[in-house]
Structure 1
Amino acid sequence: MTSQGFQAVQRLIDLANAVRTHPELPREVAVSLLAHHGEGPQDLTEAALSDADLRELRGAALKMTEILTESDTDRAAVALNELLADHAAAPRLSRHDGHPWHLHVDRGDAGWADWFLASSALALAQILTEHGRATWGECAAANCRKLYHGTGPGSPRRYCSTTCASRTRVAEHRRRKQTHTSAHK
């Protein structure tokens, strides 16, 4: 997997988590997040990223959440194909703003939302084909809704962080211990 794919997926995860937490994600937070993921200052001015663009980008992030919370690989693949059919153009190699060569599938005149949907769908499709499954999801820990992406070895990931995984294991251990103690009284 190229680092570009991982960057696009991490941008997707970060933006989707931000919008899920703050549905009216403020401009300064969105701009900071996009800058962190390589968007140049000239692309993040109010003239280049209007309030309407920002609204559509928030909506696109929420739309991608539907795929990021889909655990069935076949349904995720169908949804990705639909997004690519609706928002992508023929792939082309691009090198700009100091980035290495990478694939673009957005239409040349695409707005922020279409660009985000096309590039995110491409990144997830690349990961799905490389790993043969959806390696993303929503944290399984109680009271956590963070989205994650994981491709490490071993069992499929279920938690957004080691903190959530540990907290869940400790809670389950305490529950079993309490059940065992109650059963022997």
Structure 2
Amino acid sequence: MLFTDDTDAALQAAVALVNSTDEPGDPLGSVADLSAFLASWSYTGRHDATAEELDAVRRLRPSLKALLLADRDEAAALVNTMLARAKALPQLQRHDQWDWHLHAVDPDRPLDERVVVETAMAMVDVIRADEMSRLDRCAADDCDDVVLDLSRNRSRRYCSTTCGNREAVAAYRARQRG
């Protein structure tokens, strides 16, 4: 295990959020979709279930993507800014299926603020472990999504099976033509 379970979950949730899109079929296209997203990633605390909250979470995509794809020094500066802006105060918490782990904002704070802080706290572990290479852009030519590689052998190159399969088919067809 590279990171703690809560760090893995926060990183995976951040990547899923960043890789969601405003295009048709957006996995965060409605308040109900946001509720499902929160449940699937075990987010706890306040959830207003409003269009305003959905918009606030969707607006996080560019800043979180910048954080996830930054170099180590830039990521550290972004984390510090995000945590200071939220007046984060890390504290140990235990709830639901999670053993002791860090929360840095009150569960009654707005959802978008909590998402930023949880992502920033997860990135603290990534930065301290000097594991920024675990985050990269998808290797598919026509994809700009983020890849989180938590594999032991650091072999993940694509954001999804779809991108990997599409690239494999394209390579196969190119070989057949050649």
TM range (shorter): 0.7 to 0.9
Match of 2:29 among 18, 25, 43: 25
Q: How many residue pairs are counted as aligned between the two chains? A: 174
Q: Say if 2:28 is the partner of 1:6.
A: no
Does the CA-based 8 Å contact 2:67-2:75 persist in structure 1?
Answer: yes
Does the CA-based 8 Å contact 2:134-2:154 persist in structure 1?
Answer: no
Inter-partner Cα distance in structure 2 for 1:98 and 1:172: 43
Please tell me the residue identity of whatever aligns with 1:18.
S
> How large is the Cα RMSD of the aligned pairs?
3.0
State the shift of 1:35 in Å.
0.8
Inter-partner Cα distance in structure 1 for 2:50 and 2:35: 11
Tell which deviates more after alignment, 29-38 or 18-27: 18-27
State the shift of 1:50 in Å.
2.6
Please tell me the residue identity of whatever aligns with 1:13.
V
Please tell me the residue identity of whatever aligns with 2:54.
L
Offset from partner CA, 1:62-115 (integer Å, 9 cap, x none): 321222233x23222222222122225121011234432210012565211111
Please tell me the residue identity of whatever aligns with 2:85.
D
Does the CA-based 8 Å contact 2:89-2:104 persist in structure 1?
Answer: yes
Q: Which ranges in structure 2 are unaligned for 5 or more consecutive residues?
A: none
Partner of 2:57: 57
Q: TM-score, normalization: structure 2?
A: 0.78
SS in 2 for 1:101: strand
Please tell me the residue identity of whatever aligns with 1:100.
D
Partner of 2:42: 38
Inter-partner Cα distance in structure 1 for 2:40 and 2:119: 16
Change (3 A) 1:97 1:23: closer
Q: What are the residue-to-residue correspondences of 1:133-152 with 2, within 5 Å?
A: 133-152=132-151
Of all paired residues, the percent bearing the same amino acid is: 28
Runs of 4+ in 1 over 6 A off after TM superposition: none
Higher helix share: 1
Partner of 2:67: 67
Q: What are the residue-to-residue correspondences of 1:34-183 with 2, within 5 Å?
A: 34-39=38-43, 43-44=46-47, 48-70=48-70, 72-107=71-106, 110-154=109-153, 157-161=156-160, 164-165=163-164, 167-168=166-167, 171=170
Inter-partner Cα distance in structure 1 for 2:19 and 2:77: 23
Does the CA-based 8 Å contact 2:28-2:34 persist in structure 1?
Answer: no
Inter-partner Cα distance in structure 2 for 1:36 and 1:108: 18
Does the CA-based 8 Å contact 1:13-1:149 persist in structure 2?
Answer: yes
Does the CA-based 8 Å contact 1:88-1:107 persist in structure 2?
Answer: no
Q: TM-score, normalization: structure 1?
A: 0.75
SS in 2 for 1:118: helix
Does the CA-based 8 Å contact 2:46-2:110 persist in structure 1?
Answer: no
Q: Which ranges in structure 1 are unaligned for 5 or more consecutive residues?
A: none
